[in-house]
Structure 1
């Protein structure tokens, strides 16, 4: 299995696109990777989210807010999925403060050794931190063309675009292409858990 030892984080909230999330849940472990679904826990031990199309329940027990730098550094990739997940995650109680999920994504972007996979409307989560995509090549859902351009990103009309540690995909229906691209890149790298433990 090509990704044995790799850990991949997927951010979650309600109104997720069921085919995409269920695909990740199966596909990455097929290659030997650990996949961890994370969210803002709001002080609870677990959160149950519902999908957009079929209201399929999905339970999450991991918080991205609790990860220290060492723990975050063990992840080979972070995925911001499609659907309304990013819009829900970018809520902030304080209009003067970054949303916690955008702060988490900024931390991931501060680590160029970690892949960032952003698909479809997932780019919304980067809107409060436009510097992470400014000047970078990316693809988004057609509804987000203005958002990407306002953030200073360079739109590329392809289903998947690779720009260094940023891998973007057009829509949730392209999740298999995003996953395959991340898998192919990570298969050429040693797991980060081994590097952190060394």
Structure 2
């Protein structure tokens, strides 16, 4: 199957984990999806290779000019500073909450689930993350497990860059086989 009619938003800010944005972006586009990098500001966002500066990535859409109902699915890369900033922005939290409340597919990697915790959308969800988020997710009501990829209905989560092949496969399969609610 192809993702030709699927529109995916990747929500990220500066200091995202580079591999966790670039590899899913490439995989989704190769599968035929239309993917937009959405950020609190336009221009470019700074990627990280763990603790070192990485490449910058072009922003396709500023968050202030973007409605979540324009997209069929959401992807949240990690990196420590990226979701830590996003979870302090009401517009970013509301953007994430829209996808969860609408039952749209969400893919989240590493620290990306911090924004989901802030949106109060992880209760009773089976998830994984970078190990340091285990307590945050458990306190928010999630059921945390240490696996390379976890699929719980419309939610796909992974722990780290090493898990990206499994994450990309599971997220694309979810988009291909699930009755994705089309954007308006």
Q: Is the 8 Å Cα contact of residues 127 and 150 (structure 2) preserved in structure 1?
A: yes
What is the TM-score normalised by the length of structure 1? 0.82
Aligned residue among 165, 168, 184 for 1:179: 168
**Post-superposition shift, 1:103?**
1.2
**Post-superposition shift, 1:20?**
2.4
**Post-superposition shift, 1:25?**
2.7
Aligned residue among 83, 88, 99 for 1:86: 83
Q: Deviations over 1:111-130 (max 9, x none)?
A: 11x10111110111123233
Q: Secondary structure at the match of 1:105?
A: helix
Aligned Cα RMSD in Å?
A: 1.9
Q: Deviations over 1:43-94 (max 9, x none)?
A: xxx23221212431212130233334xxx334221011011321121234xx
Gaps of 5+ in 2: none
Structure 1 stretches of 4+ with a deviation exceeding 4 A read 189-193
Aligned runs of 1:1-198 on 2, under 5 Å? Answer: 2-41=2-41, 46-53=42-49, 54-68=53-67, 72-84=68-80, 85-92=82-89, 99-112=90-103, 114-130=104-120, 132-189=121-178, 192-193=181-182, 196=184
What is the TM-score normalised by the length of structure 2? 0.88
Which protein has the bigger strand share?
Answer: 2
